[in-house]
Structure 1
Amino acid sequence: MSDLISSPVGRSGGALVQQQIETLRRELHDHNYRYYVLSQPSISDYEFDMKLKELQQLEAAHPEFFDPSSPTQRVGSDLAKEFERVAHRYPMLSLGNTYSESEVADFFNRAAKLIDEPFEIVCELKFDGVSISLSYEDGVLVRAVTRGDGVNGDDVTANVKTIRAIPLRLQGDDYPASFEIRGEILLPWESFDRMNKEREEQEEALFANPRNAASGTLKLQNPAEVAKRQLDTYLYYLLGENLPCDGHYENLQKAKSWGFKVSDAMRKCNSMDDVFDFIHYWDKERSKLPVATDGIVLKINSLRQQQELGFTAKSPRWAVAYKYQAEQVSTVLKSVEFQVGRTGTVTPVANLEPVLLAGTTVKRATLNNAAFIENLDLHLGDSVFVEKGGEIIPKIVGVDLEQRAKAGERIQFIAHCPDCGTELQRNEGEAAWYCPNENGCPPQIKGKIEHFISRKAMNIDGIGSETVDLLYQQGLIQNIADLYLLKVPQIVGLERMGQKSAQNMIEGIAASKQVPFERVLFALGIRFVGEKVAKTLAQAFGSIEVLAQAKEDELAAVRDVGERIAQSVVDYFADERNRTLIERLKEYGLQLVASEAKLAAKSSLLEGKVVVVSGVFTHHSRDEYKALIEQNGGKETGSVSAKTSFILAGANMGPAKLEKAKALGVAIVNEEEFLAMIGQEPTSATPVNPQGTLF
């Protein structure tokens, strides 16, 4: 590392530091391009990280050289912002879809009649992601906007800047001064599988496909969280006044040289035979790609000819999308098993005669719930039709009734838990059946322990699901509190357990006693209390004792809680076995009280106040303001009424809320006024009011 990082500099020294910073930025931009676009890294990950660390330290020591397009800005801020609605300079229209080769031929023949001169068609893969439009000024990314309704979209620039395949600053010098490039934001299969595995471990609903996951990720209010999910992109259309070429294909080749990730799976075609060759080839080969695709896009290559053909009200006449049919196969239903999760939810799973589907061998398929089974009228031995929902999750979509004569008994959803025999229950308004015997059902017991030790909960090293099962089978643990009674001699000698492994486990358990209260609360595995809600409850009530005594209406009044979660919390603490468990954890030294710093921040300054938060803020995020309201004794609500004490208003406050506030005489409070109420100092930034003038 350079000594210039921390030493004071004069004018010449400042120029030297600036040059060093700019050199590092150029190098890191180039390495990002080689790694994420070309897939041809020229240095190791370690060397890249060291260069990035050096740049971060230089920039921190010399903020006068800040650049929003620096490679260090890829990680994203954790300050949430509301998305601004932005009008598209060029409307983002949807493509017309075709599902048959005859319709593709119709498109080709129609274009031939209208153009009345030779033309080329560019065939491209249709990536299954989220449409995005990127605007560049003088080679720098200035805005990223979603499709929205085609006329207006959401400004997601902060989130898009975390995607390393998207250049923040372009290479070369022959790009237009101002232009847009459009494409798809994608979640690669590898990242998608990792996310779903994590969600499965937490018994959260799985994403059906990478497109849904990418869409949800792009709309997260926390760019730092977006950065962790490793989105990718492919760009496929250039727009502007001074584009380098008349050819769409040629423009994209130029875009590649500027640093954009453009698919190599593009082909210029002069005949229908060429087009169909491309379609047939990728129908099989696309299963090998690292990202999801669902068809082929055909575009007239010449921009002049595109303008000639023009648009319909909804889509361009010069392009069309051919969508592949979801592959469907027939196989035999061998059996149905019922699995019990850590919260007791019972999930039916079909065991199938192995069959090849969309490039993988499928042996199992989800059956969702009891109503799904009943609607299909499933029988053992049925010939069933299976396809992959969104190209990923196998599902049964129908039964071949002509084969029913060979089928066996009708599948019935079970009435009792397959593991402990307890009669199943179903809450009103829910589709799932669950086993209520949470303290005596083996998969629930082991599931709760696995959840307790997981990374986002107690993060206990040296224990995995197999170890939990082993310790349970040996009678060493029956609940989470039993972990804190384990000793090295008890463990040494068990399968795959030597002295070192046993010692690591015990040390990991001891270290978990320092985990803060909000994570302990999440680790308890209370039904419907996820990581976020646990933090909210820990902040609102301060200790496990106060929380245990809270009434349902008190809980439901807390932000992000509501009636269902409130009832679940009350039910948890009403069970004497759970109260005994908490007493044991308290005895073993776990953190069941919020830290003194967090408790010291609580006050009654807003006691009895009902506050609505609306708009975009400068000093804190919306969620932070909501937390501050509750931390100071107030209640945050989403709608304006006669009971509203005041509205905490940022920029672009909702006009409906503003109008209703005026009608009811509700006070409007800006950020500085609110922070003064609770005794906090604002940052130096200046906020704006809903009308756009300074407060």
Structure 2
Amino acid sequence: MLAIEVQVGRTGALTPVARLKPVFVGGVTVTNATLHNLDQVRDKDVWVGDTVIVRRAGDVIPEVVRVVPEKRPADATEFQMPGQCPDPECKSKVERLESEAVYRCTGGLYCPAQRKQALLHFASRRAMDIEGLGEKLVDQLVDGGIVHTPADLYDRQKLNAASLAELERMAEKSAANVIAAIEKTKSSYLARFLFALGIYHVGEEVAKILARHFGSLEGLLNADWDALIVEKERVQKENTRRRTKGGALLDPILPGVGPEIMQSVANFLSQQHNRDVIEQLRKSGAVREESPPSVVQGGSVICKTFVLTGTLPKLSRDEAKELIEAQGCKVAGSVSRKTDYVVAGTEAGAKLAKAEELGISVLDEAGLLELLKGKR
């Protein structure tokens, strides 16, 4: 084994790879073999300079099976996982969560190795929902050096209809449609924006919890995450103790978000590269500056269940859902006796009929907005 190098995958996972003196295995000459992760390197006691047994797993991927210990030279060196991303353009902090074997680069919005995946996730339907920005177009934008981060999508000096129209399979009308789709995503709600950032372990539900807790992007960025994690763990331990004694429990810190997820957010936000991209996105208008409306006091809509049906005049189904969930309420897919409100648009259909049959309050779009603002 001549060296152990580290590759960064599309999702930021770091994989140690053995660089080998050429050896003939299964009909092909092998010069590289995967070591999977640091745990396997340690379990197999692989050092640089060792003589190793290699096989082609499934007759495809070469991997190191074991070391020949009696052939270890005196100058063999132990492998250490780097503390920074090995990509010279990135150099973001590398993290390893306690429950995982994989080390990851935290420069998700900036790291060149993660660039395409970051853009595809950012543009996906449940994230910013940029229609027309698919894999083939992202490949051209990244490979051509036009787009480096999600913020570049909103920079019309870097990406505009003219530059898009020059790409393969992009006519003027298609290019104009993509730019219009990007512009349409401006002023996104915080939860959707946070999910779009692609922070490891932050799915849609966690993004909604964070958005409700902090209320604004500024609040989340300025949070003392180290203190929050310490307090989260303290409250968890104290509540465990109180449960055994039948005592009253303390209010949880960020319920539904564990310390590992909080640490992942903290690591992501600790990288200046990521913060720079977030600031560029903020300045471009990609996320709403203001906090979402405060939850109506007095219990009028707290913990209520809504069902959406039909087409609303101005709000899309996703926008209406985000407004409701920003209040801490639930949006269900079907009408039942547990439903508190049905929000009906044109062509409402069976859900509206079911609501009327059960005597459930029916709101139009204006009524929904008034309710969420506490005006009714």
Q: TM-score when scaled to structure 2? A: 0.54
Q: What does residue range 394-405 of structure 1 map to in structure 2 within 5 Å?
A: 396=63, 398-399=65-66, 401=68
Q: Is the 8 A contact 1:517 1:594 kept in 2?
A: no
Tell me: CA distance 1:586–1:377, structure 2 relative to 1, closer, same or farther (3 Å). closer
Structure 1 contact 420–441 (Cα < 8 Å) conserved? no
Q: Mark the CA change 1:348 to 1:589 in structure 2 (over 3 Å): closer, same or farther.
A: same
Query: 2:262 — aligned with what?
Result: 566
Partner of 1:82: none
Structure-2 separation of matches of 1:354 and 1:512 = 52
Quote the offset at 1:522 in angstroms.
Answer: 0.5
Aligned-pair Cα RMSD in Å: 5.1
Is 2:173 the counterpart of 1:505? no
Distance (whole Å) between structure 2 residues aligned to residue 355 and residue 456 of structure 1: 44
Q: Does 1:545 align with 2:218?
A: yes
> In structure 2, do the counterparts of structure 1 residues 463 and 575 end up closer, same or farther at CA, with 3 Å as the change threshold?
same
Q: Any residues of structure 2 matched to 1:286-301 within 5 Å, and which?
A: none
The answer on 1:525 being equivalent to 2:193 is: no
The offset of 1:487, in angstroms, is 0.8
Q: 2:147 corresponds to which residue?
A: 477
Q: Is the 8 A contact 1:519 1:531 kept in 2?
A: yes
Q: Secondary structure at the match of 1:513?
A: coil
Give the unaligned 5+ runs of structure 1. 1-332, 357-362, 607-617, 621-626, 633-670, 676-682, 685-695
Give the distance between the partners of 2:297 and 2:271, measured in 1 at CA.
Answer: 31
Out of 103, 118, 125, the residue aligned to residue 433 of structure 1 is 103
In structure 2, how many angstroms separate the alpha carbons of the residues matched to 1:381 and 1:487?
54
Does residue 584 (structure 1) correspond to residue 280 (structure 2)? The answer is yes
Distance between the aligned counterparts of 2:290 and 2:200, measured in 1? 21
CA contact (8 A) 2:34 2:62 kept: yes
Q: Counterparts of 2:3 and 2:160 in 1: how far apart (Å)?
A: 43
- The AA in structure 2 aligned to 1:420 is P
The CA deviation at 1:483 is 0.3
Closer, same or farther: CA 464–335 of 1 in aligned 2, 3 Å: farther
Paired position in structure 1 for 2:121: 451
Counterpart of 2:13 (choices 345, 350, 362) is: 345
From the superposition, tell whether residues 526 and 602 of structure 1 become closer, same or farther in structure 2 (CA, over 3 Å). Answer: farther
Amino acid at match of 1:458: M
Q: 1:581 to 1:442 in 2, by over 3 A?
A: closer
Map 1:173-212; keep pairs closer than 5 Å: none
Find 2:88's aligned residue among 413, 417, 420.
420
Question: What is the 5 A alignment of 1:670-681?
Answer: none
Residue of structure 1 in register with 2:36 after alignment: 368
1:382–1:403 contact (8 Å) kept in structure 2: no
Q: Is the 8 A contact 1:420 1:440 kept in 2?
A: no
The residue type paired with residue 38 of structure 2 is A
Change (3 A) 1:604 1:367: farther
Secondary structure at the counterpart of residue 460 of structure 1: coil
Measure the CA separation in 1 of the matches of 2:166 and 2:54. 48
User: For residues 570-618 of structure 1, what are the alpha-carbon distances to aligned partners after superposition, in whole Å with 9 as ceiling and x for unaligned?
Assistant: 455565654554443334333436996xx36454769xxxxxxxxxxx9
Higher alpha-carbon deviation: 547-556 or 475-484:
547-556
Normalising by structure 1, what TM-score? 0.32
Distance 2:50 2:4 in 1: 8
- Mapped to 2, the partners of 1:383 and 1:342 lie a distance apart of 28
Structure 1 equivalent of residue 250 of structure 2: none
Tell me: CA distance 1:604–1:411, structure 2 relative to 1, closer, same or farther (3 Å).
farther
Matched, 1:384 2:35: no
Residues 337 and 350, structure 1, Cα contact 8 Å, conserved in 2? yes
How far apart in 1 are the matches of 2:165 and 2:50?
46
Match of 2:132 in 1: 462
C-alpha deviation, 1:536, in angstroms: 1.9
SS at match of 1:559: coil
Q: Distance in 1 between matches of 2:171 and 2:70?
A: 55
Letter in structure 2 aligned against 1:450: L
The CA deviation at 1:540 is 3.1
Deviation at 1:465, TM superposition (A): 4.2
Kindly tell me: are residues 605 and 355 of structure 1, through their superposed partners in 2, closer, same or farther at Cα, counting changes over 3 Å? farther
- Distance, in Å, in 2 between the alignment partners of 1:365 and 1:603 is 61
Question: Deviations for 1:237-257, whole angstroms, at most 9, x for unmatched residues?
Answer: xxxxxxxxxxxxxxxxxxxxx
Pairing 1:39-188 to 2, within 5 Å after superposition = none
Please say if residues 602 and 631 of structure 1, whose CA atoms lie closer than 8 Å, have aligned partners that are also in contact: no
Structure 1's 380 and 494: CA in aligned 2 closer, same or farther, altered over 3 A?
Answer: farther
Cα distance in structure 2, aligned partners of 1:386 and 1:480? 38
Q: Distance in 2 between matches of 1:492 and 1:452?
A: 22
Task: Give distance in 2, aligned partners of 1:481 and 1:537.
Answer: 22
From the superposition, tell whether residues 577 and 463 of structure 1 become closer, same or farther in structure 2 (CA, over 3 Å). Answer: same
Q: Which amino acid aligns with 2:39?
A: A
Matched, 1:494 2:167: yes
Distance 1:502 1:573, change over 3 A: same
Deviation readout 1:384-404 (Å, 9 max, x if unpaired):
35656xxxx979583385997
Aligned residues: 277
How many angstroms apart in 2 are the aligned matches of 1:335 and 1:524? 35
- Cα 1:548–1:404 change in 2 (3 A) is same
**Cα gap change, 1:492/1:411 in structure 2, threshold over 3 Å: closer, same or farther?**
farther
- Cα distance 1:444–1:396, how it changes in 2: closer, same or farther (>3 A)? closer
Match of 2:246 in 1: none
- Aligned equivalents of 2:96 and 2:192: distance in 1? 28
Per-residue deviation at 1:498? 3.7
